[in-house]
């Protein structure tokens, strides 16, 4: 046979090809002619080129935009589903039995819930693919890599397995359901869609913040690389004679074009920052960019005029200004991370303290509700106290959700837990209003259990944030700190005071648990209720 196909695998990553570089290759084979000796045949030359940093950046930008659009569309779907559930719920209040049309509406809602889950699964896959692609071709900063992994975990946990199974079970049971079961089903659908909406909204904001940080790191690296190229060219300019300036001019023109692209990256970075709910405090670097551009233009003009000494000096000036700008961006990055962590830790401590107080208030109120008569004038005051606890929990929910959109370390279970707490508080208010005291007390126990579970989760998150801060300080990434947004770095004494106060409150909880007569009764489902979080925060210096 004159032709024979063959397959050969070669891992190009072993060549350590850098972005924008290429490799030329060909195949050569030999026959097994034992008489005249082996003869060879060589294929045509082929070429593999790795995408440049600019090409990879553009591809990632496009993929990220598509992903953000899909997330916003899924959030809209979740909101529409909640609205339809609410409308159907109001319609069913006036009916004792379900009609065929209403069962069909419920089935449609279940299908929409399943479609929403499928869309989220598609988003999860795309996010994972984007993450893998971004890590190919260049090394990612360790801190950014850790944040990328945290974000991926958040995406993976948007729809837990029990939620998927719940929808499947509901679809199978639909034909056998009575009105009461349908109410429970609609409540679960609404809670599921609210959870999905919140998690996607949170993930979208964390995604955008991480996208900004990646762009900042990428721009800084490009600036450092361009500064090195400019410095290297200045040395070449000093060594060469004026007659050889054409090659130098071409090289300088290429660097000028690179810097033009870099200024577009800086504009994009600023736009990404402004798109955040809480933009970072970025310095205005337009004047510095203009100064660099002027120095580079001067070097081009001097090269044309064969003034190599002046050209070399302008090139050195441009290189140094680039390095100064890169250093300023690095300082801003470190300061931003440090101040953000301090501010978020302070917010989390305040939320935790409020939860501890709410738990004590709920326990005290539950004890008094069990003893009071519904016709007692004090009963209405107790209903008002429960309303205040409800309002306090709404404030905690808002603060916690805002914090979760800045801190990927907060587990998704936290938002789910507070949704359960709010649901039980709402039911407590209904029972108290209808003067069903025993039922109200049972719901209050669920509220207290949820609050204590939430406090435990937040304490774990606070410990994790403190460890991350210590690691950052140990690796020298804490950076200098100064006042920003009116908060700045929390003084050491204030941090210790807050932590000691929190320790005392947590200890008080444990002491109350140990007093005779303070044993908690069991919940209606037989589980233990109301146990306070048995943990103590560690004071950090």
pLDDT digits (tens, 9 = 90+) for 258-302: 999 999 999 999 999 999 998 988 888 999 999 999 999 999 999
Whole-Å CA distances, 93 to 86, 108, 190, 453: 11, 19, 16, 33
* pLDDT band, residue 507 (cuts 50/70/90): low
pLDDT, averaged across the chain: 81
Q: Which two tokens stand for residue 302?
A: 């001097």
What is the per-residue pLDDT for 484?
A: 38
What is the per-residue pLDDT for 429?
A: 92
What is the per-residue pLDDT for 282?
A: 85
The phi and psi torsions of 423 (rounded to 5 degrees) equal -65, -45
Confidence check: pLDDT of 129 > 50? yes
- Average pLDDT over every residue of 519-534: 39
* pLDDT band, residue 535 (cuts 50/70/90): very low
SS3 114: helix
pLDDT over 70 for what percent of the chain? 84
Could you give the angle at which helices 161-173 and 179-239 cross, rounded to 10 degrees?
Answer: 150
331 Cβ contact partners less than 8 Å away, ≥ 6 residues apart: 479, 480
- Average pLDDT over every residue of 30-54: 87
Do 193 and 82 contact (CB within 8 A), yes or no? yes
What is the per-residue pLDDT for 512?
A: 53
What is the per-residue pLDDT for 488?
A: 37
Could you give the CA distance from residue 112 to residue 114 in angstroms, rounded to a whole number? Answer: 5
- Average pLDDT over every residue of 196-216: 92
Which residue has better confidence, 24 or 339?
24
The phi and psi torsions of 512 (rounded to 5 degrees) equal -60, -35
Listed by start position, the domains of the chain span: 12-49, 53-218+331-514, 219-330
SS3 47: strand
91 Cβ contact partners less than 8 Å away, ≥ 6 residues apart: 102
* pLDDT band, residue 473 (cuts 50/70/90): low
Q: Return the minimum-mean-pLDDT range out of 132-141, 424-433, 519-528.
A: 519-528
CA atoms within 13 A on the CB side of 284: 2
pTM > 0.85: yes or no = no
The model's pLDDT over 64-102, given as tens digits with 9 standing for 90+, comes to 999 999 999 999 999 999 999 888 888 887 777 777 888
Do 501 and 352 contact (CB within 8 A), yes or no? no
What is the per-residue pLDDT for 526?
A: 36
Q: Return the minimum-mean-pLDDT range out of 169-173, 237-241, 509-513.
A: 509-513
Which residue has better confidence, 470 or 68?
68
Could you give the CA distance from residue 404 to residue 412 in angstroms, rounded to a whole number? Answer: 9
Q: Which two tokens stand for residue 455?
A: 């406090």
Q: Of all helices (H) and strands (E), which one includes residue 184?
A: helix 179-239
Could you give the CA distance from residue 207 to residue 144 in angstroms, rounded to a whole number? Answer: 12
């Amino acid at each position: 046979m004159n032709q024979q196909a063959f397959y050969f695998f070669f891992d190009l990553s072993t060549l350590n090809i850098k972005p924008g570089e290429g490799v030329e290759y060909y195949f050569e084979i030999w026959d097994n002619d034992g008489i005249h000796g082996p003869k060879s045949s060589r294929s045509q030359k082929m070429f593999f080129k790795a995408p440049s940093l600019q090409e990879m950046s553009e591809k990632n930008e496009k993929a990220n935009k598509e992903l953000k659009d899909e997330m916003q569309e899924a959030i809209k779907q979740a909101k529409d589903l909640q609205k339809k559930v609410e409308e159907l719920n109001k319609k069913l209040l006036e009916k004792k039995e379900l009609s065929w049309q209403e069962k069909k509406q419920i089935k449609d809602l279940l299908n929409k819930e399943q479609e929403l889950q499928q869309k989220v699964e598609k988003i999860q896959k795309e996010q994972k693919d984007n993450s893998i692609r971004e890590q190919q071709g260049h090394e990612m900063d360790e801190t950014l890599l850790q944040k990328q992994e945290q974000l991926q975990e958040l995406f993976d946990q948007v729809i837990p397995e029990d939620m998927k199974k719940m929808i499947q079970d509901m679809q199978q049971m639909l034909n056998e359901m009575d009105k009461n079961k349908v109410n429970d089903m609609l409540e679960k659908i609404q809670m599921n869609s609210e959870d999905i909406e919140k998690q996607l909204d949170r993930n979208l904001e964390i995604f955008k913040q991480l996208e900004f940080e990646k762009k900042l790191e990428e721009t800084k690296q490009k600036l450092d690389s361009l500064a090195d190229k400019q410095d290297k060219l200045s040395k070449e300019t000093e060594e060469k004679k004026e007659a050889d300036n054409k090659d130098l001019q071409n090289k300088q023109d290429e660097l000028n074009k690179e810097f033009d692209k870099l200024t577009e990256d800086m504009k994009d970075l600023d736009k990404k920052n402004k798109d955040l709910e809480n933009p970072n405090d970025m310095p205005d670097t337009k004047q510095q960019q203009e100064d660099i551009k002027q120095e580079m233009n001067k070097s081009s003009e001097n090269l044309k005029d064969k003034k190599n000494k002046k050209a070399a000096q302008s090139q050195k000036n441009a290189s140094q200004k680039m390095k100064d700008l890169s250093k300023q961006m690095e300082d801003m990055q470190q300061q931003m991370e440090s101040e953000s962590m301090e501010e978020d830790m302070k917010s989390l401590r305040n939320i935790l303290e409020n939860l501890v107080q709410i738990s004590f208030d709920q326990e005290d109120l539950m004890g008094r509700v069990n003893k009071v008569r519904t016709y007692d004038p004090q009963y209405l005051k107790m209903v008002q106290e429960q309303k205040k606890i409800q309002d306090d929990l709404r404030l905690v929910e808002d603060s916690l959700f805002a914090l979760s959109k800045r801190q990927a370390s907060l587990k998704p279970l936290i938002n789910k837990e507070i949704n359960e707490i709010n649901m039980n508080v709402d039911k407590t208010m209904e029972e108290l209003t209808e003067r069903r005291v025993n039922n109200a007390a049972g719901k209050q126990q669920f509220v207290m259990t949820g609050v204590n579970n939430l406090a435990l989760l937040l304490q774990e998150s606070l410990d994790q944030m403190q460890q991350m801060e210590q690691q950052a300080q140990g690796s020298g990434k804490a950076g200098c700190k100064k006042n920003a947004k009116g908060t700045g770095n929390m003084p050491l004494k204030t941090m210790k005071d807050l932590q000691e106060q929190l320790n005392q409150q947590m200890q008080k909880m444990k002491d109350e648990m140990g007093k005779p007569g303070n044993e908690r009764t069991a919940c209606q489902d037989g589980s233990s209720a109301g146990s306070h979080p048995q943990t103590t925060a560690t004071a950090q210096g």
